[in-house]
Amino acid sequence: IKDADFINVLRIQKERMEKGLFPSLEEYAELYGLNAQRLKNAKDNVIVMHPGPINRGVEITSEVADGPYNVILDQVTNGVAIRAAILFLLLGGKED
């Protein structure tokens, strides 16, 4: 992550863990989760993104999710508007 301008973390789908595709939540968090220690390796101005919902402490810690580098709430808010606009256009909507 040292050269990344953005870090986009995705939600772990816990329902898929029963099929053995992932290690335990604790092991996943330890091996792959974005935490403050890992974030120290990133650029000083890195932007952390996550589309939500967040499994806090698994794919991303609360410290990082609530930290100064995140744009998660903006991303989620804008994501709703973007999806609505795309659906409007796909369903034949026309601007007035």
Instruction: Give me the pLDDT at residue 96, please.
Output: 63
Instruction: Give me the pLDDT at residue 15, please.
Output: 74
User: Whole-model pTM?
Assistant: 0.79
CA 6 to chain centre: 11
Burial 4-42 (b: 16+ CB within 10 A, else e): eeebebeebeeeeeeeeebeebeebbeeebbeeeebeeb
Tens-of-pLDDT digits for all 96 residues of the chain? 999 999 999 998 877 777 677 778 898 899 999 999 999 999 999 999 999 899 999 999 999 999 999 999 999 999 989 999 999 999 998 766
CATH of 6-90, one of 3.40.50.1370, 1.10.1370.30, 3.90.1150.10, 3.40.47.10: 3.40.50.1370
Instruction: Give me the pLDDT at residue 62, please.
Output: 97
The domain ranges of the chain are 6-90
Answer whether 54's CB lies under 8 Å from 10's CB: no
Instruction: Give me the pLDDT at residue 23, please.
Output: 73
Instruction: Give me the pLDDT at residue 70, please.
Output: 94
Answer whether 12's CB lies under 8 Å from 57's CB: no
